[in-house]
Amino acid sequence: MNKHSIFFKKRIANGETLYGIFCSVASPINVEQLALAGYDFIIIDLEHTLFSTSQVETMILAARAMCLDVFVRVPLNANHLVLPLLDAGVTGIVFPRIENAQQAQEAVNYCHYMPLGQRGLNSTRLNRYGIDDLASFVQQATNDTIVVAMIESLEGLEQLDEILKVDGIDIILEGAADLSQSMGIPWQTSHPKVKEKVQEMYAKTKNSQKHFCAIPRQPEDIAAWKQQSVQLFVLGDDRSIIRRAHQNHLNAFKEI
């Protein structure tokens, strides 16, 4: 039984504001640092990295040891990774570039046991390799597992109403960067037209009673989202944050 994901869902239900970060440095020490910094969750990013499976498992174990909720963003069309990642103990899976209800349903099928999905049975870390009652575990996993769909294109936004009807999708994560590219204005995440589309994404998600996760780029962005009662935030990528921290640290000494 994954106690981390139970806690995560309860925290959302209790109205807590939760902060996460994309984790793109393949190191358990980095995971420890993120936990000690106070993040509520991390998203290990396999879409834009070349991590090995053994590196990922070590990072998952580090997160669990620190009681840090851990999600994994799988690469596009790499659903074969979902089952072993869930069995390894992640809180949930982030699926990039979901563009229609069929893709959303496939994501649920890979993440959930029947009757909600088609996830394969096994004794795993989550049920202590068979110590726990396996039949009870299947039901518990249905309640615990979190499925996150990223909407990163105009097509995905156009199909969002149908995507939101898929039972088993828990969170919609905005992807303003790729969305801006699909609109012909790449990386202009603060462009009024891009912000308008992300706002539309939020409104549709809110009406569906599912949860919306924002990626604020500036402090004023998060202030605006909080005014709309958004609870979930991903605050960038650890690589860029580390680089900026080192630059600021170095420059502080150079300027003396």
Residue range 19-37: average pLDDT?
98
Place of tokens 């605050």: 235
Query: In a 10 Å sphere around its CB, with 0-12 CB exposed, 13-18 middle and 19+ buried, how is residue 109 labelled?
Result: middle
Q: Tell me the C-alpha to C-alpha distance, in Å, between residue 155 and each of 88, 90, 148, 152.
A: 33, 29, 17, 8
3-class DSSP state of 1:
coil
Q: Give yes or no for a contact between 211 and 170, defined as CB atoms under 8 angstroms apart.
A: yes
Place of tokens 């981390």: 4
Residue 217, pLDDT > 70, answer yes
CATH (domain of 187): 3.20.20.60
Query: In a 10 Å sphere around its CB, with 0-12 CB exposed, 13-18 middle and 19+ buried, how is residue 241 labelled?
Result: middle
Place of tokens 């009662």: 229
In the chain, how many domains are there? Answer: 1
Residue 6, pLDDT > 70, answer no
Active site residue 48: yes
Confidence of residue 209 (pLDDT cuts 50, 70, 90): confident
Q: Tell me the C-alpha to C-alpha distance, in Å, between residue 151 and each of 45, 74, 84, 202, 207.
A: 16, 14, 24, 11, 16
Catalytic residue among 4, 48, 80, 249: 48
- What is the overall mean pLDDT for the chain? 95
76-125 pLDDT, tens digit per residue, is 999 999 999 999 999 999 999 999 999 999 999 999 999 999 999 999 99
Query: In a 10 Å sphere around its CB, with 0-12 CB exposed, 13-18 middle and 19+ buried, how is residue 18 labelled?
Result: middle
112-168 pLDDT, tens digit per residue, is 999 999 999 999 998 999 999 999 999 888 888 999 999 999 999 999 999 999 999
Looking at the DSSP bridge assignments, the partners of residue 147 are 93
pLDDT, position 2 = 45
Q: Which residue range forms the structural domain that includes residue 249?
A: 3-254
Q: Which of 49, 138, 52, 45 is nearest to 94 (CA)?
A: 45
pLDDT, position 139 = 87
% the chain with pLDDT above 90: 91
Of how many residues is the chain composed?
Answer: 256
Residue range 11-39: average pLDDT?
97
Confidence of residue 187 (pLDDT cuts 50, 70, 90): very high
pLDDT, position 3 = 47
Produce one character per residue of 200-234: b if its CB has 16 or more CB atoms within 10 Å, e if not.
ebbebbeebebbbbbbbeeeebbeebeeeebbbbb
Specify whether the backbone of 116 is left (phi greater than 0), alpha (psi in -120 to 50) or beta: alpha
